[in-house]
Chains A and B, each alone.
Chain A
Amino acid sequence: MTLPPPPDALEACVVVPARDEEALVGACIAALAAQRDVERDAVEVILVLDRCTDATATRAREAALAGGVRLHVVDAPADGVGHARRHGMDLACARLFAAGRPHGLIATTDADSEPDPDWLRMQLDAVAAGARAIGGRVELGAAERAALPPAVVARRGAEARARLARVRADAPAGVPAEHHQFSGASLALTAATYAAIGGLEPREALEDEGLERLLRRHGVAVHRLGAVRVTTSGRLGGRARRGLAVDLRRSWWQAERTYAAAAFPLERLLAAKRATVSVVLPTRDVADTIGGVLDALAPLRRAGLIDEILVVDAASRDGTAALAAGRGVRVADESSLLPAYGPALGKGDAMWRGVAATTGEVVAFLDTDTEDFTPAFVLGLLGPLLCEPAVAFVKGAFRRPLRVGDVVVPDGGGRVTELVARPYLNLHVPELAPFVQPLAGEVAARRELLESLPFPVGYGVEIALLIDALRAVGLEGLAQVDLGTRQNRHQPLRDLTAMALAVLAAAERRVHGEAAVAAAAPGPLLVPEDGELRLRSVVVDERPPLRALTPAASAPRDRPAAARRA
């Protein structure tokens, strides 16, 4: 595709990537046609079609004709908004050079955004004053803003202020930092600068973040100007706006699905309770703490909040089972449940068998190695499930003070969380980033969901349930409850290696498929020790969804119940 030669007067090329935006692109082009104080011949718009299947091009041409702005429509060379924007900016750069204007402006916005009337003038003036890269301000349209819950608006405001503080701290002297943004919806740079940095990196999306890194490497400062402004329709779940959409969803979730245990006093839960509740306690040598946990649960059971308690014991040798039985609680040896599956292979296996051996419509799991257990742990976990029908899965969150000698470090602890789970989730499942303790054993969920999920037999169970629950019911079906402060047993670093491997194997299976862990199965961990390789076994097997224990998925539902009685 060949474009006509650029006009001599060309000062600015505006690049607009578009993916099926027939409803909005007209307003975008009209806004570009209505730019004030710039010569008509000085501006042209390059619309880059990213696999459009609708009338985007037609709508854009109509708007360009009506508004009197020069428009070129080209196809993107590869899938994704990043490739589309890069292609357009490459073309714009070549045209500005061909017109003899290396300091001309390559500006870009999105097809669902409308630039203010002074958008180009302000940026041309900034370039005349020495700016080489400009970040404009991106605001949500009034309708979109009104649709957001007030708490989300407030949170976004707070996040914006925090980012602005960082941007200001980083900005060199004399470079304006009037807001925190630098996004594809409004960014611009001179043709010479674009050529100097070697163009945009070929990325599929989030190409604007890539660009900022690239500029920083080349010592180009981004001028963030408040008066350079576009209005965007940041729809929740919007199309190519992955970054903003995930950001908005997370913000909504933090506002709507994060609770404090104090919000759920016993009376409130008893009034709201419509489902039966089972509490499953996997135990292994916790004679020191199990008594306290059971004593805290007893009043909740008497009050009718908890219908069933089951201790699933891993053949403890310290009398844990006898202690629990002595308090009148049902205790089962983990391997005696679903015996067809052989001896239980770990904590996840115990939880899976615990679900099979109980009947409550809501099931809560609690770690039993907690010294400072309070009834609020259970009240908090059950609260969202009993009070909000749209929630299917609740994860406990707490602060874990880590004792180092006599010093208590406030937010330490959870080394596998901080060094494995959190970075992994941020990389691959960013929607789960707001979970404070993704590996916490304090979990409650609806039975219907739990019976449809596979359970890794070992320490991979927590991250697996979290990722699978997200996939099964969406972020809006997940909740997090702040349970306060707690202390768990801390394990030696060497033991954590095996735990981390189990967590990684379970997560990899979900994110990158079975093949990603095939090499690890059945999970030997090789550790160099004293000059030789020692093998430690890590079992990464998974138990099938309890619902799938029937031979065919269509078989009558009474099978799992029969298995439960076994």
Chain B
Amino acid sequence: MTGTRRLVIVGGGPTGLSAARGYRDAGGGGDVTLLTPERDLPYQRPPLSKEYLRGHAGEEELPLESPGWYAEHGIAVRLGTEATALDPGARVVTAGGVPVPFDVCVLATGAQPAPLPVPGGDDPRVLHLRSLASARTLRERAGAAHRAIVIGAGFIGCEAAASLAMRGVAVTLVAQEDVPHAPRLGDPAGRRIQAWLEEHGVSLVLGAAVEAIEDGARVRAGGRELEADLVLVAGGVRPCAGLAEAAGVRCADGRVVVDEHMHSSHPGILAAGDVARAFNAAAGRHLAVEHWGEALAMGEVAGRTAAGDRGAAWAQAPGFWSTIGERTLKYAAWGDGFDTARLEEDGNGFTVWYGRGGACVGVLAHERDEDYERGRELVERGAPMP
């Protein structure tokens, strides 16, 4: 037996699962307990705003691993269990009212949708999209809806708006920015995404701050009043670092600060995924990232570290793929700002190169996979803009 005797993973998202898998893959032979407040075994989140919402994929396609996999790998999963306290000194997590002792704990608590800070934003009839449970509700409501309002033009907002429109729902997308996605991806890319949404028949209300939501169905924004059968808020997420903060584990900007091996300020406590602000060895700085692939990558590093693998470190450039309607964007970037965005376009696709101080810090590609692959490599090397 190598590494930790009792590994407790708090969180049943991709990070938590990946930590369990990484621990076993690296030869970890101890007891593994995975605590998740959700009532579903770890599942794929990306389809929830796409194939699943459109009704093209069923729930049976979502689980990341079969129930038998957990049994075979000796991973005890506790469903519907919220960890409510963490004692780093005694090395005990309290969950479901009982103490769960550990030698190493991986905090993989992820993030939660932030309710819109306006009157009516916390009405239970206002929908969010994050968990499978929330996706079930959204899909059910969408099945009976003629009109939908989506608030927020980030990835989830754009993907969900296109998917709802493909179901035949009349969708209005309300966003504070003048161009969707512009703050993260820049104007040129944003305008193309805007055109795709319009092609799907999504009406856009841009540059409009939401002032209030009434009865979970009427939205006042930019002086207009909009009404629909469902309102989906895709206004970003906030990391769930409360457990760590209350335990005195070092946090910054609401995330647990960890090194490239996912070690926190406390021995025996690791953190990974959305809840972590992890040091990226290639970037040479700490990054806050909320992508699926990074959740898996950081989780694996945490699991391997827990098993005693000192070589496991986070060094890849973060990235994601986003599918809006039938079009896919591929993006790799440090994600913490750029001063130049240069667009290259041909008949089919386009590429946006992002630079900061002359160095390439990101790439966004549509139908140009070779640029995406090359760009990722340039970003990781800190090479100059191409």
- Interface positions of A from 543 to 559, Cβ below 8 Å from B: 545, 547, 549-555
Q: Is B344 an interface residue (CB 8 A)?
A: no
Is A213 an interface residue when CB atoms closer than 8 A count as contact? no
Measured between beta carbons, the chain A residues less than 8 angstroms from B136 are 514
Q: Are the C-beta atoms of A552 and B96 separated by less than 8 Å?
A: no
Which A residue sits closest to B95, measured CB to CB? A473
Of B122-130, B201-209, B258-266, the segment with at least 4 beta carbons within 8 Å of chain A is B122-130
Q: Which of B37, B71, B81, B95 contacts A242 (CB 8 A)?
A: B71
CA distance A471 to B115 in the complex (A): 29
Contact B76 A471, beta carbon cutoff 8 Å: no
Contact of B80 among A452, A477, A550, A555 (CB under 8 A): A452
Q: Is B73 an interface residue (CB 8 A)?
A: yes
Task: Check A553–B37 contact: CB distance below 8 A.
Answer: yes
A477 to chain B, nearest CB (A): 5
Question: Closest approach, in angstroms, between the C-beta of B52 and any C-beta of chain A?
Answer: 14
Q: Cβ of A33 < 8 Å from any Cβ of B?
A: no
A552 with B37: CB separation less than 8 A: no
Does A468 lie within 8 Å of B74, measured CB to CB? no
Whether A237 and B31, one on each chain, are in contact in the complex, defined by CB atoms closer than 8 angstroms, is yes
With an 8 A cutoff between CB atoms, is B68 at the interface?
yes
B76-A474 in contact (CB<8A): yes
Q: A325 CB to closest chain B CB, in angstroms?
A: 32
Contact with B along A522-556 (1 / 0, CB 8 A): 00000000000000000000000101011111110
Given the complex of chains A and B, what is the CA–CA distance between A477 and B242 in angstroms?
Answer: 25
* Contacting residues, chain A, for B72 (C-beta < 8 A): 19, 239-240
* B82 to A, closest residue via Cβ: A452
How many angstroms between the C-alpha atoms of A390 and B96 in the bound complex?
10
- A239-B73, A389-B99 are contacts. A472–B79 as well, Cβ < 8 Å? yes
**In whole angstroms, what is the CA distance A469 to B31 when docked?**
20
Query: Contact string, A440-471, partner B, CB cutoff 8 A, digits 1/0?
Result: 00000111110011100000000000001101
Q: Is B360 in contact with chain A by the CB < 8 A criterion? A: no
Question: In the complex, how many residue pairs between chain A and chain B have their CB atoms under 8 Å apart?
Answer: 97
Within 8 A of B (CB), among A459-493: 468-469, 471-474, 477
- Of B79, B96, B98, B240, the residue contacting A389 (CB under 8 A) is B98
Asked if B25 is at the interface of the complex by the 8 Å CB criterion, the answer is yes
Q: What 1/0 mask marks residues of chain B from 58 to 86 whose CB sits below 8 Å from any chain A CB?
A: 01000000001001111011111110100
The reply on B27 being an interface residue by CB < 8 A is: yes
Known contacts A552-B112, A552-B115: does B97 contact A473 (CB below 8 Å)?
yes
By size class, the interface of chain B is 35 or more
Given the complex, which residues of A lie within 8 Å of B79, measured CB to CB? 468, 471-472
Proximity bits, B17-44, A CB within 8 Å = 1, else 0: 0000000010101010100010100000
Tell me which of B68, B96, B242 contacts A472 (CB under 8 A).
B96
Complex CA distance for A446 and B136, rounded to whole angstroms = 29
Check if A468 sits within 8 Å of B59, measured CB to CB.
no
Pick the contact of B124 from A19, A237, A551 — CB < 8 Å? A551
A423: chain B residues at CB < 8 Å are none
**Residue ranges of A at the interface with B (Cβ–Cβ < 8 Å):** 19, 23, 53-54, 80, 204, 237-240, 242, 389-392, 445-449, 452-454, 468-469, 471-474, 477, 513-515, 545, 547, 549-555
What are 18 A-B pairs at a CB distance below 8 A? A23-B1, A204-B68, A237-B31, A238-B74, A242-B71, A391-B98, A392-B98, A447-B97, A452-B82, A471-B77, A471-B81, A472-B81, A473-B97, A514-B136, A552-B115, A553-B112, A554-B112, A554-B242
Binding site for A on B (CB under 8 A): 1, 25, 27, 29, 31, 33, 37, 39, 59, 68, 71-74, 76-82, 84, 94-99, 112-115, 122-124, 126, 128, 136, 238, 240, 242
Starting from the known contacts A238-B74, A472-B80, 8 additional A-B residue pairs (CB-CB under 8 Å) come to A389-B98, A392-B96, A452-B80, A472-B79, A472-B96, A552-B113, A554-B112, A555-B115
| Closest 3 pairs (CB-CB, A-B) | A446-B97, A448-B97, A554-B112
